[in-house]
């Protein structure tokens, strides 16, 4: 008898909890303690016929005063070899030198760290 009452109570309680809305997702502006929604900035005025054009730039443009040199390509400096580059180089080098498959990992580790 008690187990039947407990089962009915659990069923009624679970239905009651499922029927209520999620209160955390309902926004009520009259609720005290909540921040008001943010105020949007005013929209800029639209261009009207007869509006003054933007002021002209004062002085010469820096584009016209620069000298016209042909583009030059400099070789730059070589990139530094990264750890990954060294590991790849050492693995290839070990295979080319005929290092056995069981010793390839040891050879690559020693080559990379030296």
pTM: 0.34
In a domain, 107, yes or no: yes
Segment 60-98, tens digit of pLDDT = 555 555 667 787 888 877 788 999 999 999 999 999 999
In a domain, 109, yes or no: yes
3-state secondary structure of 15: helix
Segment 5-51, tens digit of pLDDT = 888 888 887 877 776 665 565 666 666 666 777 788 888 777 777 77
Count structural domains, the chain: 1
In a domain, 15, yes or no: no
Q: Say what the pLDDT of residue 106 is.
A: 94
Convert 12-21 to b/e letters by CB count within 10 Å (16 or more is b).
eeeeeeeeee
In a domain, 60, yes or no: no
Q: Say what the pLDDT of residue 82 is.
A: 92
Indicate the helix (H) or strand (E) that contains 89: helix 83-97
In a domain, 62, yes or no: no
Q: What range does the domain containing 92 cover?
A: 82-114
In a domain, 38, yes or no: no
């Amino acid at each position: 008898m008690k187990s039947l009452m407990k089962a009915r109570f659990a069923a009624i309680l679970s239905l009651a909890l499922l029927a209520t809305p999620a209160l955390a997702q309902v926004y009520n502006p009259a609720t005290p303690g909540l921040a008001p929604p943010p105020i949007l900035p005013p929209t800029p005025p639209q261009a009207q016929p007869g509006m003054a054009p933007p002021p002209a730039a004062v002085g010469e443009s820096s584009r016209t005063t620069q000298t016209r040199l042909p583009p030059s390509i400099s070789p730059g400096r070589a990139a530094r070899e990264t750890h990954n580059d060294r590991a790849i180089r050492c693995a290839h080098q070990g295979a080319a030198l005929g290092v056995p498959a069981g010793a390839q990992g040891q050879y690559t580790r020693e080559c990379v760290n030296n």
